[in-house]
Amino acid sequence: MLLASAVVVWEWLNEHGRWRPYSPAVSHHIEAVVRAGPRNGGGSVVLGQVDSRLAPYIIDLQSMHQFRQDTGTIRPVRRSYYDPSSAPGKGVVWEWENDNGTWTPYDMEVGITIQHAYEKQHPWIDLTSIGFCYIIDFSNMGQINRQTQRKRRVRRRLDMVYPLVTGTLPKSQSWPASPGVASTPPAPACTCPQCLLVMSIKAAVSAGSNGGLGAAASQQQLQTQQPQPPPRKAVSLSGSSRLPTPASVLKPQDGTATMRSSLKTLASQVSRRQAASTPALTTANSPASPPGANGKVTRASLNTLNRTNLQRLAIAQSRVLIASGVPTVPVKNLNGSSPVNPALAGITGILMSAAGLPVCLTRPPKLVLHPPPVSKSEIKPIPGISNTCRKTTKKQTKKGKTPEEVLKKYLQKVRHPPDEDCTICMERLSAPSGYKGPQPVIKPDLVGKLSKCGHMYHLHCLVAMYNNGNKDGSLQCPTCKTIYGVKTGTQPPGKMEYHLIPHSLPGHLDCKTIRIIYNIPPGMQGPEHPNPGKSFTARGFPRHCYLPESEKGRKVLKLLLVAWDRRLIFAIGTSSTTGESDTVIWNEIHHKTEFGSNLTGHGYPDPNYLDNVLTELAAQGITEESVAQEKD
C-alpha cells in the first residue's frame, strides 16, 4: 500500500546525475495521461502540449524515459512521492538567480530542506548535510558559496500544488500490467508516423536488457498492429523498467553473442552494486507505481537516493545503454556553434533506427568548470609571487601634459613628406589633414614620424586620435600597433585574487594549478567609458580562471598582474555572447575558465595556450621588461 497520501513530482535525470523536477503543470499533465491508461492513448506523453518550451520532448511511460526528437537524446524519468506538508505539497518553489539574471529552481530535495528551515524560522540553513556547499541566509534572501564566498539572490514563490494521490494506486497506472494480472486485450497501436518512429527507436536501442525478447514483440507489433507487452522482469539502473530490445539483435552476427554475454555480466554487476549501495531501491513492475514483491510500498522505498548513489547509477546506466546498442555507426550529440549539428545527429539516429541499424545515442562530454572542493588549509601562496590579492581603483588622471606635449616625445618632424597617404585621414601627406572634427591648435599640414616603427602621419590626425582615446600618456601606432609609453585601459574597479590549489589541469599533470578569481561589481561609468554617467552591469562574477603552476605559467601570471594594474584585462562594452551593452567584457587577453575540460575552447588541454596569451599580452605592451618597470 502507498502512504495514506502523497504528492507526486515527476523528475528527469540530468548529465550530472541529479534529478531535476518538472514544473507542477507538467507533472499534472503527465499524471492525467497516466490515469487515462494505455487503452486511451496513455503510453506516451507529449510535453509540448502543456509547455511550448518542451515541444521536442516525449516521455515513454513503458520504458520511463524522456526522448528528445530533434537530437535523439534519451534520459531516464521517475515518479517521486513527497509528504503533502512539504514544499511541493504547498506549491512553494525555491529558486536561485543564475548568471543570466533568470531564476532556476532548486532540486526538489534541496527546496524541501530550505522550506523546512524557513518554516521553523531559522535565520539560515547550511546545505552541507545534503551534499551542497551553500548557506541560505533568510535575512537577506541570499545563497553563499562556502568555498568561494560568492553570493547569489534566492527567492521563494508560490506555484500550483503538485498532484496529490491517496490510497492504493489504480491498476490503470501500471506500465505495463504486472505479469499474472488479468487485463483486457490492448487496443491496436497507433499507426501515425510519429508513433511509428518512436516505437522503432525503442526497438533499436535496447536489445542488451532483454536478450531479444522485447525486439521480437516490437517487430510483431509493427507487423500485425496488435501490440503485446514484453516481459518486464529487469530493473533499470534508474529505478524504472529498462528499455525494450532492438530488432537488429534478432539476427546476431559473429561476436554478437559474446557482446550480449558481456553486457549481461556488466548489468548483473551493476545491479549487485546498486542493491548493496542503495537498499531502498526495489524491483519495479510498474514505473508509475513501484510496488515491492508483496505488492506493498514501505516508507523507505519512497525515499529519494542521495547524490553519490544517483551519480553512480547514472554513470553505470549510460554505460549499459551505450553497450546495449552494439553500435556499428555511433551517432553522438555533437557540440558546436551551429544548432544544426545536434539536430542532424538526432535525425540520423531516427532514420538508422527505423531501418533496423544499430545506433548508439550518447551524451555529450561533461563540462567541468571548477576543480574539486578545496579547503582553506589547502590553498597556498604562489612561490616567487608576493601577496595573494590586487585591487584597482578609479583611473588616476594625469595632469599637466597636453596632447602635443605627449606626442612630442614619440615623434620626429618630417620637413619633406613623401607622396603617400596618411592612414588616419586617407589624405596625401603632402596635403593638409582631412580630419573634420574639433580642430587642434596644431597646424593641419605638419607631418610627424614615429621614432620606433617609422610610420608617418599628420600631426593634426595624431592629436585627434589621442584625444579620442584613453589620454593616458601613451600612443599606439594605428598601422603596426607599436606602443609608445605605458598603455592603460578603462577596466572598472575590482579585485584580483590568485593562489595555488592542489589539483592538476589536463595536460599539466606534473604540477599543481594557479587559480585566479576576478571580481568586479556593477557600478557607474566614468568619463573614460563609452557612456559616462550611465550604470553598467557585471555578469558572471566572480570569474574563476586557471593556469598550470609551471615556470611558464608563473610567468604568465606575473604579466597578468601587470595587465590588471594597468586596467587592461576587462573593459565596458557590448557582450559578443549575449548582445548586452554597457556591461563588463573581456579585453582581448584570453583566459581559461574551464578546469577539467575543453568543450568551449576555454579549457585544457591546450598546448599552445600559454604561448598564445604571451603574444596577446605583448600586443598590449606587456612583456618581461614591464614586470621590471613595475618593480621600479
* pLDDT tens digits for range 450-500: 999 999 999 989 988 888 877 888 898 988 889 998 999 999 999 999 999
Element (H, E) at 496: strand 494-501
Beta strands 456-458 and 19-21 are unpaired
User: Which positions ≥6 away from 56 have C-beta within 8 Å?
Assistant: 48, 68, 69, 70, 71
Helix (H, G, I), strand (E, B) or coil at 201: helix
Cα 424 from chain centroid (whole Å): 44
Place of cell 554617467: 533
User: Which positions ≥6 away from 371 have C-beta within 8 Å?
Assistant: 501, 503, 513, 515, 546, 595, 596
pLDDT value at residue 548: 97
Strand partners of residue 543:
518
Sign of CA pseudo-dihedral 470, 471, 472, 474: positive
- CATH architecture label of 5-166: 2-Layer Sandwich (3.30)
pLDDT in tens, 8-23: 999 998 877 788 999 9
Q: What is the DSSP string of 244-277?
A: ---GGGSS--TTHHHHHHHHHHHHHHHHHHHHHH
What are 320's three cell numbers?
A: 549499459
Ramachandran category for residue 256: left, alpha or beta (phi over 0 → left; psi -120 to 50 → alpha): alpha
Q: Sort 45 into a burial class: Cβ within 10 Å, 0-12 / 13-18 / 19+.
A: buried
CA atoms within 13 A on the CB side of 316: 21
Q: Sort 628 into a burial class: Cβ within 10 Å, 0-12 / 13-18 / 19+.
A: exposed
Asked if residues 332 and 311 have their Cβ atoms less than 8 Å apart, the reply is no
Span(s) in the chain for CATH 3.30.390.130? 494-629
pLDDT in tens, 569-626: 999 998 877 778 899 999 989 999 999 888 778 899 999 999 999 999 999 999 988 8
Q: What is the DSSP string of 329-361?
A: S-EE---SS-THHHHHHHHHHHHHHHTT----E
Strand partners of residue 448:
413, 457
Helix (H, G, I), strand (E, B) or coil at 121: coil
pLDDT value at residue 622: 93
What are 557's three cell numbers?
A: 601570471
Span(s) in the chain for CATH 3.30.40.10? 403-471
pLDDT value at residue 465: 87
Closest to 215 in 3D by CA, of 201, 195, 234: 201
Asked if residues 26 and 95 have their Cβ atoms less than 8 Å apart, the reply is no
Q: How far is residue 617's CA from residue 614's CA, in Å, rounded to a whole number?
A: 5
User: Which positions ≥6 away from 593 have C-beta within 8 Å?
Assistant: 369, 543, 544, 545, 546, 602, 603
Q: How far is residue 182's CA from residue 187's CA, in Å, rounded to a whole number?
A: 15
Residue 200: φ, ψ to 5°:
-70, -35
pTM over 0.75: no
Helix (H, G, I), strand (E, B) or coil at 54: helix
Beta strands 164-166 and 331-332 are unpaired
Beta strands 543-548 and 570-573 are unpaired
Residues of the chain predicted below pLDDT 50 = 1-3, 169-190, 192-198, 201-202, 205-260, 262-264, 266-267, 269-271, 273-305, 307, 310-311, 313-315, 317-342, 361, 396-397, 399
Amino acid symbol at 327: P
Q: How far is residue 202's CA from residue 248's CA, in Å, rounded to a whole number?
A: 12
CATH for 403-471?
3.30.40.10
Class of CATH domain 494-629: alpha beta
pLDDT value at residue 157: 92
Q: How far is residue 280's CA from residue 266's CA, in Å, rounded to a whole number?
A: 21
pLDDT value at residue 632: 52
Beta strands 389-392 and 494-501 are antiparallel
pLDDT value at residue 93: 93
Asked if residues 188 and 226 have their Cβ atoms less than 8 Å apart, the reply is yes
Instruction: Evaluate the omega torsion of the peptide bond into residue 542 and state whether it is cis, within 30 degrees of 0.
Output: yes
What are 238's three cell numbers?
A: 534508474
Instruction: Evaluate the omega torsion of the peptide bond into residue 176 and state whether it is cis, within 30 degrees of 0.
Output: yes
Amino acid symbol at 418: P
Beta strands 134-137 and 494-501 are unpaired
Sign of CA pseudo-dihedral 360, 363, 364, 365: negative
Span(s) in the chain for CATH 3.30.720.50? 5-166
Q: Sort 224 into a burial class: Cβ within 10 Å, 0-12 / 13-18 / 19+.
A: exposed
Q: Sort 265 into a burial class: Cβ within 10 Å, 0-12 / 13-18 / 19+.
A: exposed
Residues in the chain: 632
- Tell me how many degrees the CA angle 578-582-586 measures, rounded to the nearest 5: 65
Compute how many other C-beta atoms are within 10 angstroms of the C-beta atom of residue 332: 18
What are 104's three cell numbers?
A: 532556476
Helix (H, G, I), strand (E, B) or coil at 311: helix
What are 138's three cell numbers?
A: 533568510
What are 176's three cell numbers?
A: 505495463
- Tell me how many degrees the CA angle 361-367-371 measures, rounded to the nearest 5: 145
What are 285's three cell numbers?
A: 513492475
Element (H, E) at 298: none
Asked if residues 452 and 491 have their Cβ atoms less than 8 Å apart, the reply is no
Beta strands 361-362 and 331-332 are parallel
Instruction: Evaluate the omega torsion of the peptide bond into residue 327 and state whether it is cis, within 30 degrees of 0.
Output: no
Closest to 1 in 3D by CA, of 169, 131, 217: 169
Helix (H, G, I), strand (E, B) or coil at 479: coil
